[in-house]
Amino acid sequence: RMRRERFWFCLEEERKVKANDREYNEKFQYASNCIMTSKYNMLTFLPVNLFEQFQEVANTYFLFLLILQLIPQISSLSWFTTIVPLALVLSITAVKDATDDYFRHRSDNQVNNHQSQVLIRGSLQKERWMNVRVGDIIKLENNQSVVADLLLLSSSEPHGLCYIETAELDGETNVKVRQSVSVPAELGDPNNLATFNGEVVCEPPNNKLDRFCGTLYWRDKKYPLTNQNMLLRGCVLRNTEACYGLVIFAGPDTKLMQNSGRTKFKRTSIDRLMNTLVLWIFGFLVCMGVILAVGNAVWEKEVGSLFQSYLPWDPPVDNFLFSAFLSFWSYVIILNTVVPISLYVSVEVIRLGHSYFINWDRQMFCSQCNTAAEARTTTLNEELGQVEYVFSDKTGTLTQNIMSFNKCSINGQAYGKGTSREKNTLDFTPFNPLANPDFCFYDEKLLESVKVGDWHSHEYFRLLSLCHTVMSEEKSEGELVYKAQSPDEGALVKAARNFGFVFRSRTPGTITTTELGRTVTYSLLAILDFNNIRKRMSVIVRNPAGRIRLYCKGADTVLLERLHPCNQELMTITSDHLNEYAADGLRTLALAYRDVSEEEWEVWSESHRSADKAVDCREDRLAAAYDKIEQDMMLLGATAIEDKLQEGVSETIALLSLANIKVWVLTGDKQETAVNIGYSCKMLTDDMMEVFTISGRTVQSVRQELGEGQEGDGVAGDDQLQGSPCPLPPTYLMDNISGEFGLIINGHSLAHALEADMEVEFVSTACACKAVICCRVTPLQKAQVVELIKKHKKAVTLAIGDGANDVSMIKSAHIGVGISGQEGIQAVLASDYSFAQFRFLQRLLLVHGRWSYLRMCRFLCYFFYKNFAFTMVHFWFGFFCGFSAQTVYDQFFITLYNIVYTSLPVLAMGIFDQDVPDHRSLECPKLYEPGQLNLLFNKKEFFICIAQGIYTSVVLFFMPYAVLSNATQSTGVPLADYQTFAATTATALVIVVSVQIALDTGFWTVINHVFVWGSLGLYFTIMLALHSQTLFRIFPKQFHFVGCAQSTLLQPVVWLTIALATAICIVPVLAFRFLKLDLKPQLSDTVRTHLRKPAESRLGARGGSRSGYAFAHQEGFGELITSGKNMRLSSLGLASFASRHSSSWIETLRRKNTPPKEPCSSFL
């Protein structure tokens, strides 16, 4: 069914949706709102899963081997030597896949079964999300998530406005406004909506979040539809009681899902390397087979043909070439144990073990949200030890998205002591009954100065209570709820409220506050609205005494130059404070006021009115008018708002960068905000040589800015490059540049930088920088950046995020991490690992990742070693047994070697080994480097293991050969019979590989002891059992080794041989390791031997000056207020305001959502 739908979408050129008409809409077979991420159901599981499993080359290979073994002429081993492990592998994998899919089903069900209210036949009915169809009308209530992509039809708020938070979608934190389709205003009540039968014709599903284009046909009229009328899935309704929407796109067609990209099966680099190596080994195996087959041909021709009197050729064989052909396949069967199937099982088991350790880690448990870390994908663990690039979202990942009024400077006096925990929070309640208990401030001096009536302090908070666009709602007396468009404003107004200047309510023309218990109503004469160019906003108010005053808050860079000259001294002090705040990464605003005389106001308001009414260049003329009055202001002070970081973010980033991991921040948020976070989490520091900003809107400007960046780098790196006409130094130079640079790039510039002709340039510049921040990027761009690094740097990438806008990046990175324990779960669902706090990343990478990598590498080295040692003995024996594919060992030994005798000790090492304890790897982040450089398991290491394995096999064959060929028991019976030889070699092998694993194990827990000794014990027990009389009496054919164990193991010569072989195998290894430890010690060896002092994390020095201005605010809300559009008319009774400003505000809002034409200059 899905397939047919897909097919249909390919053809879908436009979408037609008729409201309240399911029959009509069903014709088009639009996707339902059901989301399906699971792969199987009950019926399809077995065939589909088996089909998938046999797509694995390894599984098919083993099936092929099994078939070969069923042919008697070439079957050198019994069929059970392959089928037992193969069945084991297939069933373990199937069980794992089934469990995984079960959890996917469960999470799908969870999402699909959310309740929503759907208007069906005129009444609201509860309906599950998955049953929502295109064309349904849905009611949403405040703080509910949007079910599907909806066309907003009506809202409980005036003018069909509704507010949404899009953080899930694009990471922006401010509340956005949407307006219902302008005409069907009468659709307000559900009864009318039930009969609404408009038809929407619009674009087909796509992934563009900021664009929608369509037309609504209703009652023979056409209404154009834009993105402004759409509520997208993933948004959350805020500050709006209820609204109704028409489902346009559902389920997989929603913009959110279209943006999430396809789920790719992730493989680790070790996986890929392993596959390559396994292919090589197959090649090697074929070579061995060919050599032995040629040997067989020669032998059969030269010796075998003459030996026919005792061993005639089988009738069907009867010539040496055919015999050689059969011998080739026989050898393929017996030599296949170089890559045993148990390799794949063991790797999975080890990864599963590591995943459980992540799930169980108490130090990655967040008690605040009661969420433990979770390894959602169990196949990527060792890749965590190789990460070079971390791509992080900002909002919700680095920050908590909580703004707190942290410090302030009033009239040259700095207040606030930061957020140190020991200080007591100020208690405002005795002083101010309207105070909000959630508010925290840590300096009682400020409260004192308010209490003693310091004029500046009063004026400072008065400004904060008046100059904003916050709406208030007072449900009952004193229970104030502020609806702030940006969290910054909310924090400021809340601060003023706590210090006794309580904003109570507003009308289009008035603001009512309670100042220190006294209710005051100001008349609001004008709001000089905020925009990104002005970077300030002002209000002009008349106080009850009739005095007119302008209050202004804005970026220090713009505000300080508009002050009255008499402020010079204060300005210097305040600037110092501002720099201090900026260096701490606080978001600063400067505050100022100006007294306006009545005459001046008259003149200005006239000019303002005319500018407002202007048809052309209204924007510019308004700005000029604003500019005229915002002059000669008196400085009040500055605010410093902390965009609260998650706990431990800056320490984590510092640690990661010491571990040579590059952290890039990719955020949909504004540039200033992102940069501020960059500073507050110490990614950017003031002692960086330079921070480049790339915000050009055209290809040329971006190229030029990139070029400048590279030149800047060049200055520090290589003097010759300074005068070079080519701004592009070779990439290798870029990689080697010392000195620290930061790069900040804007989304629209990034779009150009990601184009094919510039991406190399971009990558080389960005990678030369210590910190990279990409702001205003779309979800797709986040993924593109990740892909770019994957493509050009061949490095392991990790993406971490919390929202739906991070899903694409999480999916495209090698490792995706979701922040769990919060509202949105999309990121978590798409992620490979999830935990509640960014700071857990350091533990995930430096502890779990590092260990996983180390363990996996050690495991693989040992595993290949032990199997080569095991298998190659057959090869040497081939030269002495007429290349007849005679195995050296008993077939039971061959079956059990990999799954019983040697599996557990190496598994224990692969799961439990630790070279250094966890706290050491956090203290010494350099320990992470071997993983990034891929030092512990690569082709070279592989060949060393193989060589060691082959060496061991030589020793294991030729020592018994040399000793036993002439040896006898003390009873005179020769020891050179086949069974004694087999038992001796097998025992020597088990002992040698056990000693080797004992050497390789660096961390001997009880489990290791049990497994190592237990495996040895098990070997002897099983051997005695298999060679016992009891089993022989039941199955004489299979257990023909009867009596061999007792007979062999009682011979001193056998033990002397085993001891000799063990010494020859192990002594060189021991000597080599000891010398390596002395001559070329690894860092981990050093850490292991010496206790080291904890590495000190570097603190960035303060200095320089930089504006800490950042304000998550959107233009247009000022007009919204003065027009009264966002206020309930019933409560206002001021209908006249409604028509005053035509609909210019919505124009402004709309414009802000599409990039303005003029280039945006940088602030830095």
Beta bridge pairs of residue 594 = 550
- Give me the helices (H) in 770-890, please: 779-793, 807-812, 826-830, 840-842, 850-878
Interface with other proteins in residues 884-913 (CB under 8 A): 884-886, 912
Residue 233's nearest CA partner among 140, 309, 343 is 140
Cα-based distances in Å from 426 to 314, 416, 435, 503, 1119: 99, 11, 11, 20, 36
Interface with other proteins in residues 772-801 (CB under 8 A): none
Asked whether residue 393 is marked as a ligand-binding residue, the answer is: yes
Contact region for other proteins (CB under 8 A) — 127-135, 222-230, 249-257, 971-979?
Answer: 971-979
Does residue 439 bind other proteins (CB under 8 A)?
A: no
Residues 6+ apart with CB under 8 A from 219: 198
Does residue 962 bind other proteins (CB under 8 A)?
A: yes
Question: Between residues 736 and 965, which has the closer beta carbon with respect to other proteins?
Answer: 965
Q: What angle do CA 117, 123, 129 make, to 5 degrees?
A: 25
Interface with other proteins in residues 299-338 (CB under 8 A): 303-304, 306-307, 309-312, 314-315, 330
What interhelical angle do 1006-1026 and 903-912 show, nearest 10?
Answer: 170
Asked whether residue 806 is marked as a ligand-binding residue, the answer is: yes
Does residue 963 bind other proteins (CB under 8 A)?
A: yes
Asked whether residue 238 is marked as a ligand-binding residue, the answer is: no
Shortest separation between residue 556's beta carbon and other proteins, angstroms: 30
Q: Is 1074 exposed, middle or buried (0-12, 13-18, 19+ CB in 10 A)?
A: exposed
Cα-based distances in Å from 586 to 72, 418, 615, 673: 79, 10, 40, 10
Which token pair is 878? 């081939």
Interface with other proteins in residues 932-961 (CB under 8 A): 959, 961
Asked whether residue 337 is marked as a ligand-binding residue, the answer is: no
- Could you tell me the sign of the dihedral formed by the alpha carbons of 385, 390, 393, 399, in that order? positive
What interhelical angle do 57-69 and 45-55 show, nearest 10?
Answer: 90
Residue 131: half-sphere exposure toward Cβ, Cα within 13 Å: 12
Residues 6+ apart with CB under 8 A from 1014: 904
Candidate list 544, 1074, 1095, 1102; residue touching other proteins; CB under 8 A: 1074
Does residue 1013 bind other proteins (CB under 8 A)?
A: no
Asked whether residue 776 is marked as a ligand-binding residue, the answer is: yes
Contact region for other proteins (CB under 8 A) — 524-532, 627-635, 802-810, 1030-1038?
Answer: 1030-1038
Asked whether residue 632 is marked as a ligand-binding residue, the answer is: no
Instruction: Name the phi and psi angles at 771, rounded to 5.
Output: -130, 135
Which token pair is 897? 């070697």
Contact region for other proteins (CB under 8 A) — 411-419, 853-861, 933-941, 1027-1035?
Answer: 1027-1035
Cα-based distances in Å from 959 to 962, 988, 1061: 5, 10, 6
Residues 6+ apart with CB under 8 A from 1059: none
Shortest separation between residue 309's beta carbon and other proteins, angstroms: 5
How far is 799 from 391, CA to CA, in rounded Å? Answer: 5
Which token pair is 1078? 């002395």
Interface with other proteins in residues 691-710 (CB under 8 A): none
Residue 384: half-sphere exposure toward Cβ, Cα within 13 Å: 31
Shortest separation between residue 291's beta carbon and other proteins, angstroms: 17
Contact region for other proteins (CB under 8 A) — 8-16, 281-289, 363-371, 388-396?
Answer: 363-371
Candidate list 968, 1021, 1131, 1154; residue touching other proteins; CB under 8 A: 968
Candidate list 55, 367, 424, 1136; residue touching other proteins; CB under 8 A: 367
Residue 543's nearest CA partner among 497, 593, 496, 500 is 593
Question: Between residues 392 and 884, which has the closer beta carbon with respect to other proteins?
Answer: 884
- Could you tell me the sign of the dihedral formed by the alpha carbons of 1137, 1141, 1144, 1148, in that order? negative
Asked whether residue 782 is marked as a ligand-binding residue, the answer is: yes
Map residue 729 onto helix, strand or coil.
coil
Size of the site for other proteins (CB under 8 A): 95
Asked whether residue 506 is marked as a ligand-binding residue, the answer is: no
Contact region for other proteins (CB under 8 A) — 252-260, 607-615, 681-689, 1045-1053?
Answer: 1045-1053
Q: Are 245 and 153 in contact (CB under 8 A)?
A: yes
Asked whether residue 609 is marked as a ligand-binding residue, the answer is: no
Q: Are 189 and 2 in contact (CB under 8 A)?
A: no
Does residue 977 bind other proteins (CB under 8 A)?
A: yes
Does residue 1032 bind other proteins (CB under 8 A)?
A: yes
Map residue 142 onto helix, strand or coil.
coil
How far is 114 from 463, CA to CA, in rounded Å? Answer: 44
Candidate list 10, 545, 1006, 1091; residue touching other proteins; CB under 8 A: 1006
Kindly state the DSSP code that residue 630 receives in the 8-state scheme. S
Candidate list 1002, 1014, 1155, 1159; residue touching other proteins; CB under 8 A: 1002
Asked whether residue 394 is marked as a ligand-binding residue, the answer is: yes
How far is 735 from 534, CA to CA, in rounded Å? Answer: 39
Candidate list 262, 265, 370, 1136; residue touching other proteins; CB under 8 A: 370
Q: 525-534: buried (b, 16+ CB within 10 Å) or exposed (e) per residue?
A: bbbbbbbbeb
Instruction: Name the phi and psi angles at 314, rounded to 5.
Output: -60, 145
Interface with other proteins in residues 1076-1095 (CB under 8 A): 1077-1079, 1088-1089
Instruction: Name the phi and psi angles at 939, rounded to 5.
Output: -60, -35
Provide the 10 A C-beta neighbour count for residue 1006: 9
Does residue 1012 bind other proteins (CB under 8 A)?
A: no
Does residue 568 bind other proteins (CB under 8 A)?
A: no
How far is 1084 from 857, CA to CA, in rounded Å? Answer: 15
Does residue 923 bind other proteins (CB under 8 A)?
A: no
Letters for 372-391 (x = contact with other proteins by CB under 8 A, - = none) are: x-------------------
Provide the 10 A C-beta neighbour count for residue 790: 16
Asked whether residue 643 is marked as a ligand-binding residue, the answer is: no
Shortest separation between residue 644's beta carbon and other proteins, angstroms: 10
Strand ranges for 21-173 from DSSP E: 115-120, 123-128, 137-141, 149-155, 161-165
Question: Between residues 200 and 959, which has the closer beta carbon with respect to other proteins?
Answer: 959
Shortest separation between residue 399's beta carbon and other proteins, angstroms: 13
Candidate list 204, 974, 1017, 1103; residue touching other proteins; CB under 8 A: 974
Candidate list 348, 918, 929, 941; residue touching other proteins; CB under 8 A: 918
Shortest separation between residue 660's beta carbon and other proteins, angstroms: 24
Candidate list 218, 322, 365, 876; residue touching other proteins; CB under 8 A: 365
Interface with other proteins in residues 402-431 (CB under 8 A): 402
Q: Which of 393, 488, 529, 1000 is catalytic?
A: 393
Residues 6+ apart with CB under 8 A from 982: 888, 889, 890, 893, 1041, 1044
Contact region for other proteins (CB under 8 A) — 377-385, 625-633, 795-803, 1070-1078?
Answer: 1070-1078
Asked whether residue 382 is marked as a ligand-binding residue, the answer is: no
Contact region for other proteins (CB under 8 A) — 27-35, 408-416, 978-986, 987-995?
Answer: 978-986
Candidate list 123, 965, 1021, 1131; residue touching other proteins; CB under 8 A: 965
Residue 832 among the catalytic residues: no
Interface with other proteins in residues 284-303 (CB under 8 A): 303
Interface with other proteins in residues 1103-1162 (CB under 8 A): none
Candidate list 1053, 1058, 1110, 1112; residue touching other proteins; CB under 8 A: 1053
Q: Are 856 and 347 in contact (CB under 8 A)?
A: yes
Shortest separation between residue 1060's beta carbon and other proteins, angstroms: 6
Asked whether residue 667 is marked as a ligand-binding residue, the answer is: yes
Catalytic residues: 393
Q: Which residues are annotated as a binding site for ATP?
A: 393-395, 489, 530, 553, 587, 667-669, 776, 782, 805-806
Q: Which residues are annotated as a binding site for Mg(2+)?
A: 393, 395, 802, 806
Q: Which residues are annotated as a binding site?
A: 393-395, 489, 530, 553, 587, 667-669, 776, 782, 802, 805-806
